[in-house]
Structure 1
Amino acid sequence: MEFFSLTLQALREPDPAKKGALVEALYKNLRQNSLTFDHETPVETLETPSYASVVKIVRPRDVPKRKRFDDAEGQRVLLHAIAHIEYSAIDLALDAAYRFRRLPADYYLDWVEVAHDEVRHFRMLETLLAQLGARYGDYPVHTALFDAGKKTAHDPLERMAVVPRYLEANGLDANPRIIQKLESYPSTPMIKAIVEALEVILEEEVGHVAKGDRWFRYLCQERGLDAAESYFGIIERHYPGLEAKNLQLNVEARRAAGFACDELKRMGAKACK
Structure 2
Amino acid sequence: MLCASLRCSFCLPLFRPHRVRVNTFSSSFVLQHQPWSGLQNWRESSLNENRVWGSKGPEPPPPPSPLLSSIQAEEDPTATASSLAELGTLVLSTSDPLTKSRLSHLAYSRWRSDGLPLGVSKPPDRPARPPKPHLVPPKEIPAPKNSGLPLNAYMLHNLAHVELNAIDLAWDTVVRFSPFSEVLGEGFFADFAHVADDESRHFAWCSQRLAELGFSYGDMPAHNLLWRECEKSSGDVTARLAVIPLVQEARGLDAGPRLVQKLVGFGDHRTSNIVARIAEEEVAHVAVGVFWFISVCQKMGCIPCSTFKDLLSEYNVELKGPFNYSARDEAGIPRHWYDGSSTDNLGNNEKLGNNEKLAAVYDRLACIISMEKENSNLSNEQS
TM range (shorter): 0.7 to 0.9
SS of the equivalent of 2:221 reads coil
1:257 corresponding residue in structure 2:
331
- Residues 72 and 138 of structure 1, relative CA distance in 2, 3 Å threshold: closer
From 86, 106, 129, the equivalent of 2:163 is: 86
Tell me which protein shows more helix as a share of its residues. Answer: 1
Aligned to 1:161: 242
1:235 and 2:316 aligned: no
Is the contact between residue 265 and residue 271 of structure 1 (CA under 8 Å) also seen in structure 2?
no
CA offset at residue 241 of structure 1?
A: 5.3
Count residues with an aligned counterpart.
261
CA shift for structure 1 position 45: 4.7
d(CA) in 1 for partners of 2:99 and 2:130? Answer: 15
1:36-90 Cα shifts (integer Å, max 9, x gaps)? 2333x4x3451x442253421111111122279xx96222211111100000000
Q: Could you state the TM-score of these two structures normalised by the residue count of structure 2?
A: 0.64
Aligned equivalent of 1:125 = 206
- Distance in 2 (CA, whole Å) between partners of 1:170 and 1:117 is 17
Report if the CA contact (8 A) 1:15-1:54 is conserved: no
Correspondence 1:220-231 to 2 at 5 A: 220-231=297-308
Instruction: Confirm or deny: 8 A CA contact 2:210 2:216 kept in the other structure.
Output: yes
The residue identity in structure 1 corresponding to 2:271 is I
Query: What secondary structure does 1:58 align onto?
Result: coil
SS in 1 for 2:144: coil
Distance 1:11 1:55 in 2: 17
- Once the two structures are superposed, residues 171-219 of structure 1 have per-residue CA deviations (whole angstroms, 9 ceiling, x without a partner) of 111111122223334x3xxx10111011111111010000011111111
Aligned to 1:50: 128
Equivalent AA in structure 1 for residue 89 of structure 2 = L
Query: Which 5+ residue runs of structure 1 have no aligned equivalent?
Result: none
Matches within 5 A, 1:17-28: 17-28=98-109
**Following TM superposition, where does structure 1 have runs of at least 4 consecutive aligned residues deviating by more than 4 angstroms?**
268-273
Deviation at 1:233, TM superposition (A): 1.0
Identity of aligned residues (%): 32
Deviation (angstroms), 1:271: 7.7
Aligned partner of residue 136 in structure 1, secondary structure: coil
Is the contact between residue 168 and residue 209 of structure 1 (CA under 8 Å) also seen in structure 2?
A: yes
**Counterpart residue type for residue 257 of structure 1:** A
**AA paired with 1:19?**
K
- Partners of 1:176 and 1:206 lie apart in 2 by 13
Question: Residues 91-240 of structure 1 correspond to what in structure 2 (within 5 A)?
Answer: 91-101=168-178, 102=181, 103-185=184-266, 187=267, 191-239=268-316
For 2:194, the aligned partner's letter is E
Check 1:269–1:202 CA distance in 2 against 1; reply closer, same or farther (3 A cut). Answer: farther
Distance 1:77 1:226, change over 3 A: same
| Contact kept in structure 1, 2:243 and 2:317, CA below 8 Å | no
- The answer (yes or no) to whether the contact 1:76–1:132 under 8 Å persists in 2 is yes
Q: Partners in 1 of 2:119 and 2:262 — Cα distance?
A: 48
2:87 partner letter: L
Per the TM alignment, residue 270 of structure 1 is displaced from its structure 2 partner at its CA by 8.4
Q: Following TM superposition, by how much is the alpha carbon of 1:33 offset from its aligned partner in structure 2, in angstroms?
A: 4.9
What letter corresponds to residue 223 of structure 1 in structure 2? M
The letter for the 2-side match of 1:137 is G
Q: CA deviation at 1:91?
A: 0.4
Cα contact 1:2–1:36 (8 A) shared by 2:
yes
Normalised by the size of structure 1, how large is the TM-score? Answer: 0.88
Residue pair 2:118, 2:186 contacting (<8 A) in 1 also: no
Structure having greater relative contact order (Cα 8 Å, sep ≥ 6): 2
Structure 1 residues 178 and 17: CA distance shift in structure 2, 3 A = closer
Report what 1:15 is aligned to. 96
The Cα offsets for residues 71-113 of structure 1, whole Å up to 9 and x where unpaired, read as 9622221111110000000000110111112221111111111
Letter in 2 for 1:8: T
Work out the CA distance in 2 between the residues paired with 1:261 and 1:80.
31
Q: 2:129 aligns to what SS in structure 1?
A: helix
Distance change in 2, residues 1:157/1:271 (3 Å) = closer
Q: Residue 78 of structure 1: SS of its match in structure 2?
A: helix
